[in-house]
C-alpha cells in the first residue's frame, strides 16, 4: 500500500474519578472514555527517502520541541524499530482537535499513527503488544486503539470495553485564552487519600459502577472540576452557560480546559454554539465502538 489516510478522533470523559496518589507517583483513577466525531487527519505515504518526515498543520500548539518528540513521530518510530522496517515514511498531520484541552488529541494522533502505519506496511502485531506500545507513549493512547465507550483504570491505560450508549449530540467549547497543563491539574488536586474503594457500601463506587453498565450515558462527573474551576472561574461560567442554553448535562473535558455539553439534538447544540463567539466551538456526536472501528479501517 502506497498511502493510508486515517482519522484520529477526540474523546470526552463521561466520568473521571481520582482515587489518590500511588507509590510510583502516578494517580490512580477510574474513568469512562467516550469517542466523539471531532477528529484530526493523518496521511501516511511510503517514501523513497530514509527515516520519518512529519509535517503538522492546522489547530496545533506552537512548540519549540523537535519533531522527534511529537507523539506521531514517536509512535511510528517505535513500530519501525519493533518490526525492523527500513523504508522511509512521509506523514502529514492536519490538526482540528485543539491541543492541550483535555480532548486527547495528541494521544489519538499516536494511536492513529500506530494503526495507520501497520496498514501502510502490511504488518501485524498481537493486540497485547500493540497496547503495551501504546501505553508507553501515553496513558490515554491504548483507549484510542479501541474507541467507543470504555472503562479506564490504573493510570487510565488499562482499558475495558463497555456497552455502547445511544448517540448523543455534543457541543465542545474550547477557550482560546485558557490552557491547563495536565501536570498542573494533578498538582492542584493535592495528595488526597484513596476514597473510592473504602467500604463495600461506598456510594461513590456504586454510582460509578452503575454508570459503567448503564446504556443511558447520564451522570457526568469529573474530579478535576473543583480545582480547575477554582483557578479558572471562566470555565465554570462556560459550564453554566451550556446548561442555560439547553444542555442536559455539562462537564470539564479531561483535565481541561475544554468544556462540553450534551444536547437533545444537533440543532440545539448548533444554536447554543452561537453564544460563545470568543471561543472555538465544535458540534459533534458520540461514536459507538463499531462505528469507530469502521472509520479507523476506512470502511465506514
Helix (H) or strand (E) holding 60: none
Active site positions, annotated = 11, 140
Alpha helix stretches (DSSP H) within 190-232: 203-213, 225-231
Predicted local distance difference test score (pLDDT) of residue 186: 87
pLDDT average, residue stretch 102-120: 97
pTM: 0.90
Q: Which domains does the chain have, with CATH numbers?
A: 3-163 (3.30.230.10), 169-285 (3.30.70.890)
Question: Contact 102/253 with Cβ under 8 angstroms?
Answer: yes
Instruction: Read off the pLDDT of each residue in 204-232 and give the average, rounded to a whole number.
Output: 73
User: What would the pLDDT profile of 83-110 be if each residue is shown by its tens digit?
Assistant: 999 899 999 999 999 988 999 999 999 9
What is the per-residue pLDDT for 192? 45
Please provide the distance, in angstroms rounded to a whole number, between the alpha carbons at the two ends of the chain.
Answer: 19
Least confident stretch, 32-36, 61-65, 116-120: 61-65
Query: And the C-alpha cell for 293?
Result: 472501528
CB atoms within 10 A of CB 66: 8
> How open is the CA angle 13-17-23, to the nearest 5 degrees?
125
Output the pLDDT for position 53.
Answer: 96
267 CB-contact burial (10 Å; exposed 0-12 / middle 13-18 / buried 19+): exposed
Amino acid at each position: 500500500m502506497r498511502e493510508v489516510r486515517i482519522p484520529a478522533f477526540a474523546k470526552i470523559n463521561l466520568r473521571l474519578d481520582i482515587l489518590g496518589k500511588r507509590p510510583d507517583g502516578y494517580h490512580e483513577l477510574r474513568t469512562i472514555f467516550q469517542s466523539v466525531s471531532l477528529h484530526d487527519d493523518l496521511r501516511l505515504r511510503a517514501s523513497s527517502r530514509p527515516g520519518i518526515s512529519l509535517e503538522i498543520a492546522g489547530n496545533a500548539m506552537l512548540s519549540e520541541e523537535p519533531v522527534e518528540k511529537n507523539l506521531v513521530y514517536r509512535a511510528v518510530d517505535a513500530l519501525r524499530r519493533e518490526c525492523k522496517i527500513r523504508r522511509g515514511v512521509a506523514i502529514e498531520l492536519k490538526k482540528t482537535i485543539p491541543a492541550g484541552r483535555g480532548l486527547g488529541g495528541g494521544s489519538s494522533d499516536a494511536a492513529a499513527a500506530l494503526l495507520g502505519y501497520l496498514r501502510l506496511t502490511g504488518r501485524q502485531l498481537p493486540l497485547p503488544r500493540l497496547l503495551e506500545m501504546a501505553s508507553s507513549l501515553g496513558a490515554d493512547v491504548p483507549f484510542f486503539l479501541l474507541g467507543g465507550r470504555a472503562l479506564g483504570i490504573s493510570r487510565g491505560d488499562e482499558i475495558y470495553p463497555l456497552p455502547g450508549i445511544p448517540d448523543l449530540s455534543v457541543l465542545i467549547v474550547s477557550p482560546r485564552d485558557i490552557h491547563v497543563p495536565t501536570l498542573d491539574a494533578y498538582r492542584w488536586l493535592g495528595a488526597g487519600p484513596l476514597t473510592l474503594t473504602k467500604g463495600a457500601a461506598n456510594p461513590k463506587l456504586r454510582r460509578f459502577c452503575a454508570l459503567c453498565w448503564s446504556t443511558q450515558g447520564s451522570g457526568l462527573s469529573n474530579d478535576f472540576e473543583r480545582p480547575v474551576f477554582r483557578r479558572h472561574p471562566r470555565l465554570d461560567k462556560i459550564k453554566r452557560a451550556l446548561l442555560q442554553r439547553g444542555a442536559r448535562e455539562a462537564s470539564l473535558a479531561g483535565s481541561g480546559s475544554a468544556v462540553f455539553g450534551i444536547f437533545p439534538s444537533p440543532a440545539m447544540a448548533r444554536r447554543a454554539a452561537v453564544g460563545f463567539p470568543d471561543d472555538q466551538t465544535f458540534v459533534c456526536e458520540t461514536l459507538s465502538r463499531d462505528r469507530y472501528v469502521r472509520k479507523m479501517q476506512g470502511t465506514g
